[in-house]
Structure formats: structure tokens, C-alpha cells
Structure 1
């Protein structure tokens, strides 16, 4: 991946709907040349897909929390994933070093919905407890920039 590819990726991250022609004008390439580079970036797994960024609050999901998940013994990562990925409220999950087995980002409509979600997660075999920190405000979120 060269500097032009990095510029193309940065432009797509700003606006994934940007045309190849528009990108080409910014990086001094023709639209077909940009398309070939984007196709190659997709084939290599650099660009994994395209998405719309949505404000969960506009859909009524105004509560979110960071949840430390504690599991029995050495629960394998795939079992931890199985415990949380089936819950639509779980936005992301990460295994971590330290006392907790994982940290989970949960979004919910309100605290009652959050509590119900945590109860469902704790019902999974092997999950022993959770420790929840409710987010009061988002100072900023920074997407990865290449």
C-alpha cells in the first residue's frame, strides 16, 4: 500500500459514497485507475466494507455503558464472544488483560433496558458477574485514520 492508496482510503473514510472521479481528482488519477486500486484494497482486506454512521440516540437508544465481563476460569475467547454477540444491544466486545475477561460496549433505550440486557448476558453459562460503568456523555469518538 503506497501513499496514494492511503489518500484513497482516507477519502473513502470521510465519505464512502464519494465517486471514483471525485477521488481521482484529489489524488491525480483517472476514475478507472482509482476503481482498480479500490478493488485491490478490497481484495487485500484493507477496505472491509462500507457503512453508514448512524446516531443510536435518534432511534431511542440513548443509554450506553462499558461493561466488564467476568467469567469462570479461563473461558476461551470464542465462548466469551458466544455469550455476548447474540445480544443486539452489544455494539462491541473486546478480550482484555487484567481481572475481567472482556469489556463490552452496550447500548440500550434506558437503564431498565440496560439492566434487562445485563441479566440476559449474566444468564450465559460461565459468566459469573459484570461490572458496569454508564456513560454520562461522549467527549469524542475517533475513527481509525490510516
Structure 2
């Protein structure tokens, strides 16, 4: 991966709908050359998908929270299956520390969140934090030096 690949990744992370023509202008390549690089980055698994970023509040999800959960190793497979089926679970990661899992969830009310936490507690102890505000939103990772 060279600096041009890194620049293409940065551009796509900023706006996945950017045109090949615009990327070509910004990287000083032809559109077919940019397209070939993107195809290769996809084949290599560096680019894994393209996603729309939506505002949960505007879809009626007024409660954003992080839930820590302590799941015993023998229950992880069952828990993962449960989490994957729950549309309100935005992210779920296995972590180090006092709790074994952290989940990012979105609900329309605290009552719905409370009911969900009640269901989670069959897997283990929970600790929940409701988000008041987010000052650094979702963003892409730093792809490294990109001198174009």
C-alpha cells in the first residue's frame, strides 16, 4: 500500500459517495487507475464496505448508551447469537477489564433500554452509561502518511 492508496482510503472514509472523477483529480491519477486501486483494496480486504451514517435521533432513537456486560466464556456463543439478533445493538465488542463485553445501543426510550438490560442480565452483571452528548463522532481510522 502506497501513499496514493492511503489518500484514496482517506477520501472514501470522509465521503463514500465521492466520484471517481473527483478522486482522480485529488490523486492526480486517471479515473480507471483510481477504480483499479479501489478494486484491489476491496479484494485485499482493506476496504470492507460502504455505509451511510444516519442520525439516530432523527429516526426516533433518543437514548444512546454503552452497556458493559460480564459474560462467562461458556455463555459467549449464546450471547453473541442473541446480540446479533437485536437491532438496537449497534456495536458489541469483547474487551479486557472488569467486564468482558461492551455494547453500544440505541433505544427510543429509557423504558425500552431498561427492558433490554433486564434481558441482558441473564448473561451476567451489567453497568450502563447513557450518552448526553458526543463531541467526536464516528470517523475513519488514520490510514497513515499520504503525500500526493
Long gaps (5+) in structure 1: none
Matches within 5 A, 1:50-65: 50-65=50-65
Q: Which has the higher contact order (CA 8 A, sep 6+)?
A: 2
**d(CA) in 2 for partners of 1:48 and 1:9?**
11
**d(CA) in 1 for partners of 2:127 and 2:43?**
40
Secondary structure, in 3 states, of the residue corresponding to 1:45?
A: coil
Output the TM-score relative to the length of structure 1: 0.89
**d(CA) in 1 for partners of 2:10 and 2:77?**
32
Secondary structure, in 3 states, of the residue corresponding to 2:125?
A: strand
| Aligned-residue CA RMSD (Å) | 1.5
Long gaps (5+) in structure 2: 144-148
**d(CA) in 1 for partners of 2:76 and 2:2?**
34
**Number of aligned residue pairs:** 142
Q: Which residue of 1 aligns with 2:88?
A: 89
Q: Which residue of 2 aligns with 1:139?
A: 135
CA deviation string 1:47-104 (max 9, x = no partner): 11111110000001010111111123x3365444223221111110111112211111
Structure 1 runs (4+) greater than 3 angstroms displaced: 75-80
Output the TM-score relative to the length of structure 2: 0.88
Q: Which residue of 2 aligns with 1:69?
A: 69
